[in-house]
Each structure stands twice: as structure tokens, then as C-alpha cells.
Structure 1
Amino acid sequence: MAKKSEATALAMLGSLENVRQLIPVFNQYGINLIDKDYVLIEEIIEGIQTERADIVLISDAALVGTEDGKREVIKAIREVDKEIFISLFINYEKPDEQFKNWAFGYGVYNLYYAIDGNYNFTEIMPEIKNRSMPVSNKSVKVVEKIVEKVGEVEKPIEKIIEKPIEKIVEKEVPIEVIKEVPIEVEKEVIKEVPVEVEKIVEKIVEKKIMVPTDAKLMGKITLGIFNLARGAGATTTAISLAENLQSLGYDTAVISMDDKIDLHYLDKKKNAAYIIPAPGEKRLKLLEAYKNDYKFILLDFGNLFDILPTGQLKTDRLTEKEYEIEEFFRCNYKIAVGFSDEWNAGKLNYFINNPAFDNLETFIFSIRGLTDRIAKQYNLNFCSSTDTALEILLMWLGIEQNRERLKGKDRKAAFSFLFN
């Protein structure tokens, strides 16, 4: 007999079938596991808030297509809920001490690695029920500098030691946070830029979206999709666009141009074609796609441009991406995917101030958390979701579709300043 629910859990496992197999197991421990597999990071965040969840289960199988997805989903969850209990199930990687240390910094101690593709829920469930960390995770390995005396000479050395987790958690700052927001950047962007923004906004009035002068549905249409920041979701965006275009009756292919193999793990039920070129075969695969009957060819460039928060381009790896950049500029339309944080929004200056981007009317900037302030500051085509990016593209090409399928909330946010 199922126990009365004492907690509510949400799951992001990559398969509704997996969730339903676990529901009776969780019921036995008095946990109500919601009968839904959350697909997007935004969905799991909304679910946490609407369901008032106590526990969230995340599998890396659900994050295929989101670069560095494990870190991104943890950071996103912690932004809205500092206390919720997170269990992370890892299928495709071996235990990683560095990631373990990083996760501990965000209060995520329950990391479970698959053994022969399986998990031992007999051991796992008591830990989830009690919301306690595994015994094996009671300590963490850290590097400390110590002074060791060799003869008469004192020599500083680095030594790996284990520390009880409760003693370091409050003091540890996640490594990735330090890397992503350097102190000098934080001072420059967060404190100084908003003052300049206010001055600019006073001079700008709301605008309508720019429409490319030669937009038409003739021949093949190529879309270049890329991230403005790591983990923004270029691959997820490419997949969503491809499946929507395919469902509208247009044969569509996605080609991975960022040397990643995420597309290998796609659900076999996907309808568009997904192409992962072997090393040295990008040009060949692209030519083959052009010869095929695809109406739309989507090129997933991942992190094509390494842009600083100040809007300057890091050029140390440009020569490695010469072919990809060449193909990017050949694309009919480009979709940039990014975040609305101040240190990410500043990257938009690179496109505005660079003469190479003289056709910005062919760009769509899909910015998660888009605000009126950002939209008014930059003279660019903005939207706040993949659905809206698709609708803008179809509007340019003169393709009719059922516009009611977009959520009213997203429509209001995305179009309130675009079509006034």
C-alpha cells in the first residue's frame, strides 16, 4: 500500500517511460513523483515553482543537446531555489572529482553514476527520502598548499587531501562562477554599463522588427544557429526549429558544425535529418545536403564566436574556425541564442559595432529572459523563445501557420515591443 505523500518530486530524465517506472517506487517512500518528464530547463524551473516541489531528479540523458547541461541546469535551479534537493543521474560519464567539487559548491551532493546502465534504487531511495547525501560523498578531495621541510630547506608543495563536506561547503566558491564572472569584468559590466544604458535608452523609441528586403521562399534556405554564451542552447534550438519546419511539410536537415556529437543521442522518432560529419568531412556533408531535396538546411555552429562581456572578440582560436565562419556568413539567416544577464547582453555590441555584420536584418537574437530594456538598447531583431524565432522566420518567408499554438505569455513578452 502506497504511503501518504510527504514530498513532491519532479523529474527531467529524458523519457516519460522512465518516470512512470519510478512513480510506484517513489510512492512506497511517501514521495509523489509528478507524472511528467520535463524537457527544457525553463520547464523544470516553472515546474519547481508551480508544483512547490521538494525534490528534483535530473539525468544527463535529458540534457543532450545543451552544452555543459549538467552545470547549466544546476545553476538555473539554484537561481530560483537555494534549498531544493537535487539528485543527478549520470549515464554517459565516469566519476569526475572536479565536477563533484563543483556540484558540492552548489549544494548538490547526490551524484549517481550508472553501473552497466543501471542504478541501485534500493540504496538510492532512502537517501532521496531523507534528503541526505550518500555516505561516499561525506568528504571531498581538495588541493591545499602546505610547506614541507626537506633537510634544512622549507619547500611549498601542493597536496591532495580529503575534507569533511560540511566544513568546506559554506566557504567554497564554485570554480565555474569565478571563471564566468572575473572581478575585473564584474566591475566594468555590472556597475558601469547600466549607467550608459540609461543614457542610450532615453534617445531610443520602440521599433518594429526589421524585415530582410530579399526574404523569399525560393530554392534552399540555410540557417546558421550559434550561441552567444556557452550552454545557451544552440543545438536545442536547431532541433526544435528543424522538427517544426519538418512538421510544416518542408524537408529539413541539421548539420553539426561544432565538432560535437550531441545529435547522435537524439530520439529515433525525430523526423528531420541529423548529420554529424566525421573530422574533415564538414564540406563534403554540406555539399551532399545541398544536392539532396532539403528545403531547409540548419547549421549548428555552437560557440562560433568567443565574445567578451564588453563586446570584444577573443581572436586566439579564429584560425581554427576559418571554414565554419566562412559557411556562417553564407547562411541566408542567422539565429543567435543567448542570455539576458548584463555580462551576456554586452556581447551584443560585437555585432552592432562590427562592419562585417552589415546585414543584421537577417539575424534573429533569441534571448532567454529578454527585457524591454535590452530590446530598446540594441537595434536588433529580438525574441524570447525558439517558437517566436520560428514565427518571425516564417513571417519573413511568407509561410502561414497556426499562430495560436504559441503560449500567450510568451507571445505577449516577445511581441509587445516588436510589432507595435
Structure 2
Amino acid sequence: MPFAIYLLGLAVFAQGTSEFMLSGLGPDIAEDLSVSIPAAGALTSAFAVGMIIGAPLMALLSLRWSRRRALLVFLLVFLIVHVVGALTTSYEILLVTRVVGALANAGFLAVALVTATGMVEPDAKGRATAALLGGVTIACVAGVPAGALLGQAWGWRSAFWAVALVSVPAVVAILRAVPSAAPADAPADAAPAGEVAVPSARRELRALRSPRLGTLLALAALVNGATFCTFTYLAPLITDVTGLGAGWVPAGLALFGIGSFLGVTLAGRIADTRPIPLLAIGGTMLLFGWIGFALTAGSPAAAIVLVLVQGTLSFAVGSTLISQVLYAAGDAPRLAGGFATAAFNVGAAIGPWLGGITIDAGLGFRSPVWVSALLVALALITGGVAGLVWRRTSRARTAVAARTALRD
């Protein structure tokens, strides 16, 4: 695996830390900028919305840029807005920096997915995707707690400075390792022989009409929705349902993060060669894991084990779906990266929202785990039905081709 991919993963680590770190910095920001706690919480929501809208939008904007130029522009904008965020005393300016930072983050991740998979063999997209998304999982394990510790020691602004600082080596890596060339995202057969294929928004949008690609994006949103539904409410689940003290909350979050890192690492080894068995078996295990978690959440031993197991299974299945999106969209690589990023963040937004609805309805802190189980069940049903349709369509096409060959 090229070392440059891991350095791109470092930028993804910084961006993942930025996306989630405000959960531990909100009260300090609210006090410093003289706003309410909900207003500080809106900074996280603004980032999520920016990620969802920005992924396909930024991918289209940068379609005719070289990958190096796109990565540099998005990463430098991300770095600069964090410097501005660290210096500002205005809530409104900080809110704007969160939206702009999310747009830059979304654009960077969309292009980084294409760049990373373009640095490896055509049949190694799963490993490259896992190496890149490992940055997100490490952000959950180390980045977010480190940001909280920095905030406690030197104030919330220090966490913003740290994110900007961690982004600097990735800028250097892009300058040194990513070639400065014409846009390389158009398919090789998109231009006549001897001419350079130029990326086309219309061509990429046509390629995204594929039913298989749409199904994979929906499955990615459902599986990631299940993941973040429980992850968001893991703290009250541990304290109010499992009965462990508040001191166990960081340990539970860290276990989930460790599991997520194990998941993308293990999936990266087999997602390229056996994706369907991984999705079918892993998805089924994920469903029964959520059901088991919901039923045994009152047992400390079971809850601790299942936090690790479900983190592993969730990210193994989720990262495999993202790599399959890139395989399915060979004619629209950059927009595929954008929509894969958007699907991930749609899940990250919808899952917690659905979990919050069940809690507000008085169903307790165990209810988000049942929502996670329901979302994975829906994903398995959708994937199973789509698989049957694809197989029947494939057999019909094979039969038609055979009859045509016999007539000829």
C-alpha cells in the first residue's frame, strides 16, 4: 500500500476529529461566546449538513481539476477555516467556518477516495478504502478524546489549532506524492484513441443512474445510520441501562472506536475478493448483534463485549459498501466518491435523529439499539431483493445473448 495513502488518511483523521470533537467542547464554546448550549450544538449539525450537501457539490465543482489541485484546495481551505475558528470571538463567524470546513472536508474525502483507489491495482479498492477510512476510526478512538483533553487543559481553541496543525503534513504529502496532471477521473474509453479523456459532469451523472449503484448508496446510508444511532446515545445507555458509572463512558467509546478500526482493517483484507459473503454474513451477524445488544444491555459484561463486536461489524460492512460503490461507478469515479461520502453522512444524521425520536417518545435509552437493528434488517431485505433482481436480469441477458448467438 503506497505510503501516500496513509498520509491522506492523516488528513481524514484530522477532519474526522473536527467533525466529532465539538461533542466534548460545546459547553466551553457556549460559555466563551455567550451562547446557549443548543446553539453550540448547532455547530455540529451545521457541519453534518455541510458534509451531506457538499460531497456531490464539491465533486462536481472540482471535476475538471487535477486530483492534486483539488486535494490541495480543499485541504488548505479546511486548514484556514480552523485557524479562523480558533481566532474568532464571534459565534456567527464560527458557524460559517463550520459550514465551509464541512464543504471542504466533503470535497477532500470525495477526491481522496478516488485518489487512493487510483494509487493501487484495480482489484485493490477495498484495501485502499479501508486504509483511508481508518483515519475516521482513529479519530473516534484518539482524536475526539484528545480534543476534549486539549479543551480542558488550554481551552476549546487549542483543539482547533491542533486540527490545523495535524493537516500540515498531509499538505506536504499531496505536494510530493500526488502527481500534478490533467484530470484523470474520466474513463479510458470516454475519448477517441490518442486523445485525453476529459471528465464530463453529464457523463458522470448518467453513470450514476445505475440501479445497482443507487442500491449500494442506500445500503451504506442504512448501515451507517444504524451505527451512529447507537453510538450517539452510547453514553446514557452505559450509565442508565447497563448501570455502569460515568467513568466507563470513555472506555465504552474507546472500545467502539477500537472495534471500528479493527472492522475497516479486517474488511480491507477480504472486501476486494469476497465482498458478497462479507456483506451477507457480516450483515446478518450485525443484525443479530444489535438484537442481542438490545436484549442484554442491562448486563455490564455483555454490553462491554458487544460494544467492541458491533463497532467491528458496523465498520467492516460499512467500509465494504463504500468500496463497492467505487467499483460500481467506474464511469463516474469522482461523483461516486462524493455520493459515497454523502451516504455515510446521511446515515450519521438520520440514525441519531431516529434514535432521538424513540427516546423522546419515552421508550428509554435502550430504544436506539432497536432502531439500529431495524435499519440493518431493512438493509438486508433491500440487499436481498436487489440481489435476486440482479441475478434474474443477468440470467435473462445471458439467455438472450445465447439465443442471438445461435441465430447468427
- For this structure pair, what is the TM-score category when the shorter chain's length is used for normalisation? under 0.3
**Which structure carries more helix by proportion?**
2
**Which structure carries more strand by proportion?**
1
* Larger relative contact order (CA 8 Å, sep ≥ 6): 2
Higher alpha-carbon Rg: 1
